[in-house]
């Protein structure tokens, strides 16, 4: 292979690897757009490609839409409107025939191991995935295994797999021992192995990229993990070879089987490969486009409901501009929408604000005793500030002793010397613990920041910004926060910065219920850091001198919203002499009323028969403590809209917990810097969340993680397996999306963004940002403008604006 061909092949490998979306570990699990690598393609084109190669469904089956038409949830005129916008037929009878017709499955690209499988024998294709998965689980283990996998740092992932496979005795029972001498003579270098595999397989150029994608997708979970490692490295301007090495592993398996397969099997494989190449794929493309029309029709119907409810400015009147007594800034998370609505109704003199839950403080955070800091910033951005946990040394020492005792006890229970005799020796002493767990008497599993601490000790710890930051740097950060929150004027005497987290037990994906804007952590650290900064007397003095409308009595309080129980806890500052006791008491009463109303609303989806407020509260608390509960909350299921506008537009709207609410007032943003930030960061993060729920719903087998009851944690924090083997599972479980009583809880829709800003400015931002340009232009999300008069305009993918 000459240098030009080698370079071209390397570019091919890179394109295939970039199709894989990353997956974050369990301790920082965040929602990810599973189609991130296909954003450069039109939605329907990506759907047709994935269906026709991997067999992955990207659009719900047409019969699902037919049922919605039948029960009146999807009007046929909306389907015809969507069809016209996509250049399809608008014949009503033709669409009726299509909806109730029988769909022909796409011809999927076959791999060699699948054709080697024989009825009545162990599956070769399944074994290949299992063998790779077992190796990777041991290789990447983060402390779960008591016996560590020996690693040579200079060998790399592929070299380590080669050594592992040469010693793997499970090959012989499957009749694969003939691959061992071939592997022995293969270079341990991953790059050389990839090129050898390409030459050995001899796949026609026209199918080469598709075939390599199918190979990598066969271990999609582990490929997503390796893509995460590459993502993290590239965020720091570095690189990481493990994803390329994983591709080499999968390609080498294919090539080894190619060299040892019977001639008839190879002939059958070549015939099917040629058949796939020659097959007419226009029908798949048309079916995908028709499927997108049905999806778009559902979105049109939903957008119409939202657009009809958005408040218009009353004629001849102005919205009240009196200074509120309390302002509470919540994360834009859809769960906050429900609580905000009820809190405002309980205390009319209060104003809520929606802002991404990191509150503009892009930090990483290291607790005392931790080996490395963790990110508390949206994963699309790099932290800019390093924050250290601060507190009294005796507290840190007590926490360390408690956690060490717990770890030693766990190690003893699981060690080879005691695990067989432990149950017989200590079993009776665990009766009380098992009973308490079953009845929900214990508190939920402690989040990392609370583990080993009493409530009083936790409250005493601080998360202040580093002293090394200059006053000018602190003031600039404070101005950035206040501008983002829209607090240019009319700041209340009490301002709460309310992060959010959850309380659950026995839930490997608990971080997925926490704040995505804080990289899968609770918003506690960011709220404390931002409040500490905005209360800093020196910072406040400079801000007032620069013209910021900050009353000297104004006090910023950090708080945390538990989205499982809907309890809001103020995390400090209650002894501040500036606080007005009467206002605070009024807020606490409103807070309790809002919590009760929010629980009642959310319980209607969890336990519809419960109506009593006290019973609902007890049920919510029990859900968080119950080790067997698979649905402690619905999290972000149902999300479909993103609204960035002044709060008065939506203050009286019931959005049913389906909208990300970001406050934005273009009048307070003359240079549109805040608009740019909203559209390029929070909007993209919301799109990630939306498409993770979408992908997990339309094809849970490939983009979800299956049955939560069968999950087993692998590698400590790497992820989960469904059962005791197979590929690493990604995405959301079935229990997070549906239940046996009311069915599907998440309607798969692409995100519809409603933004009150000039159209020309939004066009500039879209065109100036490659990621946003691809997402909007290729129909992965839609943009709507709210005009100053309250009219709604939809932006077509081609850039034209049309009135809704």
- Residues at the binding site for Zn(2+) are 331, 333, 500, 515
DSSP string, 390-441: B--HHHHHHHHHHHHHHHHHHHHHHSTTTHHHHHHHHGGGGHHHHHHHHHT-
- How many Å apart are CA 786 and CA 777, to the nearest integer? 20
Q: 298 with 71: CB under 8 angstroms?
A: no
Q: Angle 468-472-477 (CA atoms, 0-180°, nearest 5)?
A: 85
Contacts of 176 (CB under 8 A, 6+ apart): 124, 127, 257, 260
Backbone angles phi, psi at 374, to 5 degrees: -115, 155
Q: 733 with 764: CB under 8 angstroms?
A: no
- How far apart are the two ends of the chain, measured CA to CA in Å? 57
Give SS3 for 490: coil
Binding site: residue ranges?
Answer: 331, 333, 500, 515
Closest of 211, 41, 231, 31 to residue 111, by C-alpha: 211
Q: 12 with 194: CB under 8 angstroms?
A: no
Q: 487 with 495: CB under 8 angstroms?
A: yes
Beta carbons within 10 angstroms of residue 135's beta carbon: 20
- How many Å apart are CA 194 and CA 724, to the nearest integer? 30
Give the pair of three-digit tokens for residue 362. Answer: 């892009």
- How many Å apart are CA 477 and CA 541, to the nearest integer? 14
- How many Å apart are CA 151 and CA 718, to the nearest integer? 18
- How many Å apart are CA 532 and CA 463, to the nearest integer? 8
Give the pair of three-digit tokens for residue 739. Answer: 């239940």
- How many Å apart are CA 758 and CA 777, to the nearest integer? 19
Alpha-carbon torsion 184, 187, 190, 193, what sign? Answer: negative
């Amino acid at each position: 292979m000459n240098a030009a061909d080698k370079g071209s092949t390397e570019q091919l490998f890179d394109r295939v690897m970039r199709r894989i979306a990353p997956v974050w570990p369990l301790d920082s699990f965040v929602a990810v757009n599973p189609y991130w690598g296909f954003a450069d393609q039109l939605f329907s084109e990506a759907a047709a490609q994935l269906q026709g190669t991997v067999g992955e469904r990207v659009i719900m089956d047409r019969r699902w839409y037919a049922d919605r038409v039948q029960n009146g949830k999807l009007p046929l005129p909306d389907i015809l409107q969507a069809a016209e916008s996509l250049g399809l037929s608008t014949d009503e009878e033709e669409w009726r025939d299509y909806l109730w017709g029988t769909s022909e499955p796409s011809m999927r690209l076959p791999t060699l191991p699948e054709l080697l499988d024989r009825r009545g024998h162990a599956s070769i294709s399944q074994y290949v995935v299992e063998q790779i998965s077992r190796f990777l689980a041991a290789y990447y283990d983060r402390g779960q295994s008591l016996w560590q996998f020996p690693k040579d740092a200079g060998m790399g992932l592929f070299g380590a797999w080669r050594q592992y496979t040469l010693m793997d005795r499970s090959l012989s029972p499957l009749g694969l021992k003939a691959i061992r001498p071939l592997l022995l003579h293969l270079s341990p270098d991953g790059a050389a192995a990839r090129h050898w595999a390409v030459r050995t397989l001899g796949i026609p150029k026209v199918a080469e990229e598709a075939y390599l994608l199918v190979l990598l997708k066969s271990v999609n979970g582990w490929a997503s993990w390796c893509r995460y490692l590459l993502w993290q490295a590239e965020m720091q301007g570095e690189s990481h070879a493990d994803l390329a090495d994983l591709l080499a592993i999968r390609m080498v398996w294919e090539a080894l089987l190619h060299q040892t397969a019977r001639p008839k099997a190879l002939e059958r494989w070549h015939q099917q490969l040629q058949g796939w190449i020659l097959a007419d794929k226009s029908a798949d493309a048309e079916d995908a486009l028709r499927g997108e029309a049905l999806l778009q029709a559902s979105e049109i119907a939903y957008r119409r409901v939202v657009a009809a409810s958005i408040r218009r400015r009353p004629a001849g009147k102005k919205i009240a501009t009196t200074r509120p007594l309390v302002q509470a800034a919540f994360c834009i998370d859809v769960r906050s929408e429900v609580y905000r609505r009820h809190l405002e109704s309980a205390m009319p003199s209060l104003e809520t604000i929606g802002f991404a839950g990191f509150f503009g403080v892009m930090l990483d955070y290291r607790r005392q005793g931790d080996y490395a800091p963790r990110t508390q910033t949206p994963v699309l951005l790099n932290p800019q500030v390093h924050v250290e946990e601060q507190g009294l040394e005796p507290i840190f020492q007590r926490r360390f002793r408690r956690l060490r005792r717990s770890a030693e006890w766990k190690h003893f229970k699981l060690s080879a010397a005691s695990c067989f005799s432990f149950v017989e020796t200590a079993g009776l002493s665990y009766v009380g613990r098992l009973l308490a767990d079953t009845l929900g008497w214990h508190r939920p599993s402690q989040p990392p920041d609370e583990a080993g601490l009493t409530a009083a000790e936790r409250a005493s710890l601080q998360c202040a910004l580093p002293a090394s930051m200059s006053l000018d740097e602190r003031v600039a950060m404070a101005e950035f926060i206040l501008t983002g929150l829209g607090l240019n004027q009319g700041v209340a005497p009490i301002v709460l910065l309310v992060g959010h987290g959850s309380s659950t037990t026995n839930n490997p994906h608990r971080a997925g219920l926490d704040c995505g804007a804080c990289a899968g952590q609770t918003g506690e650290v960011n709220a404390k850091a931002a409040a500490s900064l905005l209360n800093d007397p020196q910072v406040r003095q400079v801000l007032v001198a620069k013209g910021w409308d900050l009353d000297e009595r104004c006090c910023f309080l950090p708080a945390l919203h538990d989205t499982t129980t809907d309890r809001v806890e103020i995390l400090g500052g209650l002894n501040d002499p500036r606080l007005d006791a009467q206002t605070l008491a009024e807020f606490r009463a409103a807070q309790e009323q809002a919590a009760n109303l929010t629980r009642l609303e959310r319980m209607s989806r969890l336990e519809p028969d419960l109506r009593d407020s006290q019973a609902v509260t007890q049920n919510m608390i029990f859900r968080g403590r119950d080790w067997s509960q698979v649905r402690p909350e619905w999290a972000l299921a149902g999300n479909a809209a993103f609204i960035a506008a002044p709060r008065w537009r939506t203050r009286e709207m019931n959005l049913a917990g389906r909208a990300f609410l970001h406050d934005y007032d273009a009048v307070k943003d003359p240079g549109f810097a805040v608009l740019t930030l909203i559209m390029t960061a929070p909007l993209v993060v919301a799109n990630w969340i939306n498409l993770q729920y979408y992908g997990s719903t339309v094809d849970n087998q490939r983009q979800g993680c299956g049955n939560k009851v069968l999950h087993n944690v692998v590698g400590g924090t790497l992820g989960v397996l469904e059962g005791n083997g197979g590929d690493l599972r990604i995405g959301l479980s079935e229990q997070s999306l549906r239940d046996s009583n009311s069915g599907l809880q998440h309607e798969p829709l692409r995100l519809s963004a409603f933004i009150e800003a000039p159209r020309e400015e939004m066009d500039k931002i879209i065109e100036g940002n490659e990621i946003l340009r691809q997402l909007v232009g290729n129909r992965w999300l839609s943009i709507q403008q709210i005009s100053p008069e309250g009219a709604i305009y939809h932006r077509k993918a081609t850039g034209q604006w049309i009135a809704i």
